[in-house]
Amino acid sequence: MTAIQQIQGRMVLDSRGFPTLEGECLLEDGSRATAMVPSGASTGEAEALELRDGGAEWGGKGVDKALSHLRGEISELLTGRDACDQEQIDQLLCRADGTANKSRFGANATLAISMATCRAAAMSRQLPLYRHLGGDDAVRLPIPLMNVINGGAHADNAVDVQEFMLAPVGFDDFPTALRAGVEVYHVLKKRLKSRHLVTAVGDEGGFAPDFVSDELVLDELVAAIEQAGYTVGHDQQFNFALDVAASELFRDGSYHLGSHPEPLSSEQLIDHWSLLCERFPFTSIEDGLDEEDWDGWKQMTSRLSGIRLVGDDLFATNPERIARGVAEGSANALLVKLNQIGTVTETLEAIRVASEAGYRIIISHRSGETEDDFIADLAVATGAGWIKTGAPCRSERNAKYNRLLRIHADLGERALMGPLQF
């Protein structure tokens, strides 16, 4: 009864107005589900390939090639297969594609149908997605890392760091943590407006004013938190998190920050992060060095051992790169993005490899998002304890927060908050 009867797909638009794919899976019992694929702006070299058409239409970002694979070969491959056997579905996709980075079908095509099939199987079992993936023990909601100041590739300003995030760590449940973050966000907007700073938002809903240094941004966030009536500091209600996206700052063997007149070596950039950590309470720093600066990562992990040092571009949700990081002592946390690897099964495997090595897990959106809320269920299913899905602004971001609110209500008194180990 859970056999796949029909595979369909269509082009839809992401939050930046570019084409992306929606996959649709119909089962023999009538269960039907769809899933939409996000797209990143700051992408790592090791990510699975997002297949685009090129040419003049859609500025080269059309998805007709990937869509033809989904409607053709992928549909023929999966029709009649058991949707509840997610591992087999995804293995078939990987084998038929036959490339290391999904370059034949496109990871946008494989992920669209991998997610849609997963949802259809959950519907057939009459289970919410988080329970279908995580079982009865899936009761842990994540702490939201809320991107409230955008820079780098996510905004048109002079700020080097891509994301400055609020981490509402000192709250007992998800709705309260979310409320506190939302309140600080709105206070921050009023503060920026009163100083005649830009309150337009970047791709992930954070404000994009011009600041001349990281320290000034963080000073402003401290002031906004305190004005909203909350505390900031270690063992307090709010900490901070950064996504540096340092690969965007790396060229010719050095790091180039607008706030520093001279290029920086790996050691000098680590010094910079170390000084920030002495002055401000950080829960995590993501991609603090370039994705291929393995020696630097090892040094940074040793020096900043009290901080979650998160590999995004470094790992690209790829189990092989994660295994290398574990072996070399690089990073101690994994950022998980489904479209970096291209199937649900491979994503779960990446989480398993990292978790067994003691790495912390953060489930993440992309800058080019959709209203699809799959990652909210994934965060609860895996007990990750952390999620990145942007500022509490723009519907494609709030869709994930709203889904987590629904899951919290569904779980009731069983709902827990945050990671098993902080």
Residues 9, 104 contacting (CB under 8 angstroms): no
Helix H segments across 12-98? 64-69, 75-78, 86-97
CA separation, residue 106 to residues 229, 365, 417 (Å): 48, 19, 36
CA 295 to chain centre: 25
Give the DSSP H or E segment for 301: helix 294-303
Strand 250-251 vs strand 239-243: parallel, antiparallel, or unpaired? unpaired
**Residue entry with tokens 């595979």:** 7
CA separation, residue 203 to residues 162, 214, 257, 363, 420 (Å): 11, 19, 21, 18, 31
Cα separation, 418 vs 405, in Å, equals 14
Give the DSSP H or E segment for 302: helix 294-303
Cα separation, 154 vs 169, in Å, equals 25
Cα separation, 206 vs 261, in Å, equals 27
Amino acid 349 reads E
Give the 3-state DSSP-derived string for 209-241, with helices as H, strands as E and coil as C. Answer: CCCCCHHHHHHHHHHHHHHCCCCECCCCCEEEE
Active site residues: 204, 337
Per-residue b or e along 88-102, where b marks 16 or more CB atoms closer than 10 Å to that residue's CB: ebbebbbebbeeebb
Q: Beta partners for 239?
A: 167
Give the DSSP H or E segment for 165: strand 163-167
**Starting from the edge strand earliest in sequence, which strands make up the sheet with 32-36, in order?**
4-13, 19-27, 32-36
Cα separation, 194 vs 322, in Å, equals 45
